[in-house]
Amino acid sequence: MAAFSFDIDVPVRSEWSNVDLLITSVENCFTAMFADVEGCHALAVVTGELLENAIKYGDWSGGHAVFRLHVSGLDKNASITVENPVSEDSSQVERLFAALKWLEGFSSADEAYRARLLEIANTPPGEGMSGLGLARIAYEANCKLHAERDRGRVRVTARLAL
């Protein structure tokens, strides 16, 4: 049997209303392709978290109003990449890389997620950022996360099995 591949690559306006539209579109598209509805929901949840982070932490000044969503896969393996503009001096990008490095320090996503929940529970309200979203999707979707920065843009990729 030939390998089954899929590829979605779209530019997206940086508007909050587009997050829900894309989450629903991705979930519906993959539900039409795969029988595993739970796996398709996981794909949509990961997509949503990455889109929300792009809008929250992207640099939308100077006419940068678009970011990119790329979902691809081969058979039952998927890759979701969200690419958005960032300012060169963005502390958010450094926090992103620190969060991913922190996640790698655990033997499992489950262990990292539980540790992050405990940290949040022990942090006084209003201090720091939660950083729970990346740990949550790594745990819930059992995905591997990777980020790279290149000339004023950051790409965050999640790889998961459907």
pTM, full prediction: 0.89
Nearest to 58 by CA among 82, 85, 80, 83: 85
Q: Which helix (H) or strand (E) holds 37?
A: helix 37-57
CATH (residue range 5-161)? 3.30.565.10
Amino acid letter, 69: L
Amino acid letter, 161: A
Q: What is the mean pLDDT of the chain?
A: 89
C-alpha distance from residue 132 to each of 8, 14, 43, 55 (Å): 27, 22, 17, 16
> pLDDT category, 45, cuts 50, 70, 90?
very high
Domain assignments of the chain as residue spans, ordered by start: 5-161
- Provide mean pLDDT across the span 32-56: 88
Q: pLDDT by residue (tens digit) across 93-122?
A: 888 999 999 999 999 999 999 999 998 888
Res 127 pLDDT > 80: no
Nearest to 82 by CA among 19, 161, 17, 32: 19
How confident is the model at residue 128, as a pLDDT?
Answer: 60
